[in-house]
Amino acid sequence: MALSKTMIRGLGAAAAAAVLAVAGAADAAVTWNITGVFNDGGTLSGTITLNVYDFLQKDFTLTTTAGSLESGFTYTASDSYFSNTNPSYAPKPIYIDFEPQYQNDLHIQFANDLGVAAPVDKIVGGLGGPSFECIHSWSCPGPGMPGYAVRYLVSGQATLVGGPVAGPPGLGAAVPEPATWAFLVLGVGAVGSALRLGRRQRATA
């Protein structure tokens, strides 16, 4: 059965949309729930999102509660300087400083690269670091400033809630929905039919 030009154009547009959807899936971010417990009894909770290149995004909220050493704090992009190391380094710390004047510092290091979409990633914890929160930074945990305090995450984890992420080698691949693949295959077939139809019409002419 011959396809009309209108049908072919419609299926071609569907193919283009499917290609864009697949490309969009490859640009997906990955979101993690973070939980942890400090050695003074305080807790850590919140969410972070990493982009396709494994860098921390500006939509994070991390809250620490009071313990025997510190009163707790909420870190957000609006009031915190934040960074994380080059994605080629693993394990990767996520390093957040509260501004102004670096008053608080929260440093979290994970056992594995968060760009790899495993369902759970453990926080590297224990007395002495590398995961800690401190007051009057520059940038802790060395003492020397008035009111200095530091506490260490002794346990915790990141639990995957969004993703998976796709991107450079070593990151988990995003998998398009079955409907996306169906549209893609149908659209490519329609484009092939259109090319064959055009050849037949030119040959007849």
pLDDT digits (tens, 9 = 90+) for 52-103: 777 888 889 999 999 999 999 999 988 888 877 655 555 567 888 787 667 7
- Name the CA radius of gyration of the chain, rounded: 25
**Cβ atoms within 10 Å, residue 144:** 8
Q: Is residue 37 part of a domain?
A: yes
* Strand 61-64 relative to strand 73-76, pairing: antiparallel
Task: State the total domains in the chain.
Answer: 1
Q: In this structure, is residue 16 part of a structural domain?
A: no
Better-scored residue on pLDDT, 35 or 116? 35
- Is residue 136 a part of any domain in this protein? yes
Report yes or no: 132 and 112 within 8 Å, Cβ to Cβ. no
| From 16-30, 35-49, 123-137, the region with the lowest mean pLDDT | 16-30
Is 141 within a domain?
Answer: yes
- 90 lies in which domain range? 30-162
State yes or no: pLDDT of 48 exceeds 70: yes
Is 175 inside any structural domain? no
Task: Give the mean pLDDT of 167-191.
Answer: 47
With 60 as the cut, is the pLDDT of residue 167 above it? Answer: no
In-domain check, residue 171? no
Q: Does 19 fall in a domain? A: no
Q: How far apart are CA 87 and CA 89, in angstroms?
A: 5
Q: Is 197 domain-assigned? A: no
pLDDT at 170 over 50: no
Kindly tell me if the per-residue pLDDT of 175 is higher than 60.
Answer: no
